[in-house]
Structure 1
Amino acid sequence: MALDGIVVASIVHELTSLLPGNKIEKIHQPEADELIIALRSQGKNHKLLLSSSSQHTRVHFTNVAKENPSVPPVFCMFLRKHLQGGRIVSIEQPNFERIIKFVIESYDELNILKQKHLIVELMGKHSNIILVEAETNRILDSIKRVSFDVSRQRQVLPGLTYTLPPAQNKLNPLLIENLDGFKEGLTPNMSSPVYKVIYSSFTGISPLIAREICFNANVSDDQPLLALDEADYQKLFHSFKNLMTIVKKGTFIPSLYIDDATGKYVDFNVLGLNHLSYYRTETYESPSLLLESFYQNKDSKERMKQRTQDLRKNISLKLERLYNKIENLEKDLKNAEKAEECKVYGDLITANIHLLKDKEAAVSVINYYDPDMKEITIPLDQKLTPAQNAQKYFKQYNKYKTAVKEVAHQREIAVEEINYLEQILISLDHVTQLADIEEIYTELIETGYVKKRATNKKNTGNIKKTSYLKYLSSDGYEIYVGKNNKQNDEITFKISGKNDLWLHVKDMPGSHTILKCQEGEYTDQALLEAATLAAYYSKAKNATKVPIDYTLRKNVRKQSGAKPGMVIYDHFQTVYVDGDLAGLKVKEI
């Protein structure tokens, strides 16, 4: 899924139609690699998101409200000093690259009108946001400073002259006017597939667009360049030219392609791709709406995953220790199974003590406990007398008997801890905001799994209380899903009624799910949809034929001293569903 030069061109087209003349009202930096700029012109407000994230780099208008740090980062303060109160003059895309340049005029501290360039480089892991002084082309600062240690080819540091990212000997496709220019522009690698030659030869063209050019030309994209004849070149140029005409005219069709079989996004672009027409297509009024729809959940999940990384590592380490403990307890239990053998040895030594001599390494006697009365050899400690050897075996017998009970108890405790910590990992997969992480962290402090960290008292009031998930089934029944253990307890024992339906994945970690019944009744459709949500928000996510237990909420109870989210239940039935949301018609409310 590529944010290629064509998508960037559509963004620049949208920004150019709305932003010139806009005044920069506020600048925020909610993430280390992301800016949100509030703009205003003629009574209209816009909020622009600039992201230099290595995975989700982008620029678009946004309506999403994000939490800002209580103390603005240094780069944010620097931009406020130089740009706040300034006006956007123009927006450019240099050489059809994945670069957007905002030309901004603002007054400096001497009240002199200066022009600066805010340059957003949308290049994957090399993405950056750079402020440049227009008059001298000198870098003032950047959201990511790139020193010589990081890159020997190109440094991005205050005081250096700004240069464009290293060119890759590609041509600007918008400048290609005829077939000869198209053919000459193609990289002469005759054994490479056609689509690869096309995207390797022209800036701003991704593999996705190269395949579209081949598809529209009715030329196989995988055949080598040397297999093309003159007619193929003509068809490819005609297809290429048609797409470039759309870009020049700005007649974009922002589209998202979705595989209904899996419910996953296949790709997106702004040209209307014929070779992906067999997927369901959602079109948007603007590139910003397309990018916001595509990236919002992906980016949020990725950032939440990064923020929970240390906590995941901590929990995973504890789980590993518990798994090792279970393994060692199993070994102890296997040894403890020798208890009866030790008792028999002790009894037989005692019964034959008059026949034994000191300092013997072993003795062979008749085993009276064997129906066949076979002879058995008993190992002896030569340092001990026969009576002392008998006492040693009796002591070992009593030790093993005690161990069997203790090992079983310790194993039960370890299994309970494993179930709890695996549930925590599931909860971490479902966090959507900082408040979710704080709830889980607070729970782990209360249960003693992590130490309380030093907090800034000024910041504690900024964390909002999070809420459980609420859905509406396709036939109108409310469904509640807990995102963590505290929410699981809340919806099970505070929100739901005793005759509502409680659901949970069978014998593995997962969220509590409540189906709100209407006068004690529910439909099979609502049950299946609630069960699917219970499967999706569990360890069985995306699995098939997931067993989901369901029972009336009154049959669910919490044992004394149980950890948050841990319950027992009875009088249940089981239904099997798939653990994905493909085709599910519930609505989040």
Structure 2
Amino acid sequence: MAFDGLVMSAVKHELEDKIAGGRIEKVYQPLAKEVVLVIHNEKTKYRLLLSADARDARIHLTNSARQNPMIPPPFCMVMRKHLEGGRITGLEQTGLERVLKFRIESVNEIGILSEKQLICEIMGKHSNIILADPDSDTILDGINRFSYATSRHREVLPGRRYVPPPESGKLNPLAVTEEEFRSYMWRPDKDVPLEHLLLESFEGLSPQTCSEIIFRAGFHAGITNQSAGELELTILWRVFREVMDSVLSGDFRPTLCYKGVVPTNFSAFEITRLSGSRCSKGSMSQVLDEFFSLREKQEQLKRSASVLMKVVRNEIKKCRKKIGIHKKTLEQAKDVLTYKIYGELVTANIFQIPKGAESCELVNYYDPEGRTVVVPLDPQLSPAENAQAYFKKYGKGRKSISSAEIHLTAAQEELSYLESVSTSIEQAESIENLAEIGAELIKEGYIKPPSERTKKPGKQKEIPRPELFAAEPELGFEIIAGRNNRQNDYLTMKVARPGDLWLHAKDIPGAHVVIRNPEGREVPDVVLQRAARIAAFYSGARESSKVPVDYTLRKHVRKPRGAKPGMVLYDNQQTVFVKPYNPDKD
């Protein structure tokens, strides 16, 4: 993935068609390094996004809504002053440089028509958005200001002369001749892959584009200049020229490729070397908007999941510590019955034990062989008081055991619940799903609820329903899966009917899965297998090759009073072993 010179050229070509001649109505700065221009042209409004973010620098039209700050940043105010009401008269890109300049005519504060230049430099961590006055060649402002203390090449400060980014020293691929191309590809002093020579010789080409050119030429990825002869260079030049001619003619084929649901690559041209991947096509702006919107959602998902996971892992750690303490208490109290025996033996022999004795050897009538036992005594106490002391220790120890057993069971149930929440967070595929999990953790007391001041006004969103997966529709069955504990409860206790089939990975945190069976028919094995594989996939054993999945009728599933969300008991189950299956692949 790279916003290279070819992508910039495709964006320029699209913008010339859609916004050239348009009027800038509004300027917003939703993020520190991001500007959005609202442009009206031929009865259509466009939103042009310019980003100088070090990681996501780009420029394209967007349909994504953005929340703007209540108080506009200073750079936004400067942009509004000079650009709002202005008309875009032209766009300029030199060669395949990743610099796009907008010429904008507007009326200044004294009513005179003047021209401003908006310069968008897409250069990784050196990216910038600069507003300049071309008449005086001075900078009005830059979204990334810096002085010579930061850069030896130039300053970007109001009032300073605008100096373009340093030249790369590479050739313009749009104007190169075949002779120049061959001379740069044939280096007798080097033996390096041809795609590396393409990258270091021509401006505006990304590693991805160079790899694509090599692939289209029919060469393997590692072919070097020393192993390439005249024929190979002729073929490479032809493919290279075809790509550059397409740029010159504006014949772009913007493409977005995915791995699953995650976008992985975008290009101004079809990526033939990834022909096996799922790809979509559209305008260059549509491709870029989709790529960065989806990636932003994925990153937001990761951030939100990380926050929730930190809470859950901390609670799991506490839970395991409590379990350890209760187990230790039970271990220490295992001799509590001995105190009762000592008390009863002392009571039975009370008149035979001299006062002030430190111990006594008594026949243990609880021992089948009738062996004696030495009972320690407190010489400060009478035999009767020693017996009562042992009975008191026994009573205290018995209460301790009872309490520890109760708390141990509760802690183990809580751990099971928290592990199920952890699995739900790991497998969450939407912000809405994580929001449900967050609400669940608030309700269960693991997260402090937001104060009334920080709560967002408006109607609370309805809880998303469990996911429905069609299961052999011609057989008339539906498979429904919960994606978190709240959905699991809703599915099992509200949606499912007594005759429906209920499934869950055996002894593993995971989703409740239900096969709807309103007519009470026998569930075909193909449906049962598919539902079981879905239950295995949405469980903590997703990566296993074979997972045990229990299934039983819904009427055999019950929720104990006071149980945590998603926690149920069931019986009359049978078990199948299946390979996890991702239903999203359908």
Q: Is the 8 A contact 1:263 1:582 kept in 2?
A: no
Alignment of structure 1 residues 71-90 onto 2, 5 Å: 71=70, 74=73, 78=77, 79-80=79-80, 82-90=82-90
Q: Which residue of 1 aligns with 2:430?
A: 432
Q: Is the 8 A contact 1:86 1:107 kept in 2?
A: yes
Structure 1 residue 134: Cα displacement:
3.6
Confirm whether residue 287 of structure 1 aligns to residue 294 of structure 2.
no
Secondary structure in 1 aligned to 2:177?
coil
Amino acid of the structure 1 residue aligned with 2:44: K
CA distance in 2: counterparts of 1:26 and 1:170, whole angstroms: 38
Alignment of structure 1 residues 24-173 onto 2, 5 Å: 24-26=24-26, 37-51=37-51, 57-64=57-64, 66=65, 68=67, 71=70, 74=73, 78=77, 79-80=79-80, 82-94=82-94, 96-123=96-123, 126=125, 130-135=129-134, 136-138=137-139, 140-142=141-143, 169-173=169-173
Q: Deviations over 1:34-82 (max 9, x none)?
A: 5555443222343444455665554444445x46368465379635555
Q: Which residue of 1 aligns with 2:569?
A: 568
Q: Which residue of 1 aligns with 2:297?
A: 300
Q: Deviations over 1:326-379 (max 9, x none)?
A: 33333434434454677778889999999999999x99999997888999999x
CA distance in 2: counterparts of 1:141 and 1:466, whole angstroms: 45
Q: Which residue of 2 aligns with 1:584?
A: 585
CA distance in 2: counterparts of 1:225 and 1:317, whole angstroms: 56
CA distance in 2: counterparts of 1:149 and 1:316, whole angstroms: 45
Q: Which residue of 2 aligns with 1:269?
A: 267
Q: Is the 8 A contact 2:185 2:194 kept in 1?
A: no
Q: Is the 8 A contact 1:99 1:122 kept in 2?
A: yes
CA distance in 2: counterparts of 1:450 and 1:19, whole angstroms: 48
CA distance in 1: counterparts of 2:528 and 2:158, whole angstroms: 60
Confirm whether residue 413 of structure 1 aligns to residue 410 of structure 2.
yes
Q: Is the 8 A contact 1:346 1:394 kept in 2?
A: yes
Amino acid of the structure 1 residue aligned with 2:243: L
Q: Which residue of 2 aligns with 1:175?
A: 175
Q: Is the 8 A contact 1:469 1:480 kept in 2?
A: yes
TM-score by length of 2: 0.77
Structure 1 residue 153: Cα displacement:
8.2
CA distance in 2: counterparts of 1:385 and 1:415, whole angstroms: 42
Q: Is the 8 A contact 2:480 2:515 kept in 1?
A: yes
Q: Which has the higher mean CA deviation after the structures are superposed, 406-415 or 20-29?
A: 20-29
Q: Which residue of 2 aligns with 1:317?
A: 314
Q: Is the 8 A contact 2:311 2:446 kept in 1?
A: no
Confirm whether residue 21 of structure 1 aligns to residue 28 of structure 2.
no
Q: Is the 8 A contact 1:348 1:367 kept in 2?
A: yes
Structure 1 residue 257: Cα displacement:
4.6
Structure 1 residue 90: Cα displacement:
3.3
Q: Which has the higher mean CA deviation after the structures are superposed, 562-571 or 573-582?
A: 573-582
Q: Which residue of 1 aligns with 2:443?
A: 446
Structure 1 residue 238: Cα displacement:
3.9
Secondary structure in 1 aligned to 2:585?
coil
Q: Is the 8 A contact 2:263 2:295 kept in 1?
A: no
CA distance in 1: counterparts of 2:348 and 2:364, whole angstroms: 10
Gaps of at least 5 residues in structure 2 are none
Structure 1 residue 492: Cα displacement:
3.9
Amino acid of the structure 1 residue aligned with 2:132: E
Amino acid of the structure 1 residue aligned with 2:42: Q
**Structure 1 residues 437 and 230, CA gap change in structure 2 (3 angstroms):** same
Confirm whether residue 249 of structure 1 aligns to residue 271 of structure 2.
no
Aligned-pair identity (%): 35
Alignment of structure 1 residues 172-571 onto 2, 5 Å: 172-184=172-184, 190=190, 192-222=192-222, 228=228, 232-257=232-257, 267-277=265-275, 279-280=276-277, 282-307=279-304, 309-339=306-336, 400-428=397-425, 430=428, 432-433=430-431, 439-456=436-453, 459-461=456-458, 464-465=461-462, 467-468=464-465, 470-473=467-470, 475-476=472-473, 480-517=480-517, 519-520=519-520, 530-541=531-542, 543-571=544-572
Q: Deviations over 1:474-494 (max 9, x none)?
A: 644655554544444444444
CA distance in 2: counterparts of 1:519 and 1:146, whole angstroms: 73
Q: Deviations over 1:73-112 (max 9, x none)?
A: 5379635555444333334445524444444444455554
Secondary structure in 2 aligned to 1:473?
strand
CA distance in 1: counterparts of 2:465 and 2:18, whole angstroms: 38
Secondary structure in 2 aligned to 1:174?
coil
Q: Is the 8 A contact 1:557 1:569 kept in 2?
A: yes
Amino acid of the structure 2 residue aligned with 1:276: L
Amino acid of the structure 2 residue aligned with 1:213: I
Secondary structure in 2 aligned to 1:460?
coil
Q: Is the 8 A contact 1:9 1:96 kept in 2?
A: yes
Secondary structure in 2 aligned to 1:190?
coil
Q: Which protein has the larger Cα radius of gyration, Structure 1 or Structure 2?
A: 2
**What value does the CA root-mean-square deviation take over the aligned residues?**
4.8
Secondary structure in 2 aligned to 1:96?
coil
CA distance in 2: counterparts of 1:527 and 1:472, whole angstroms: 13
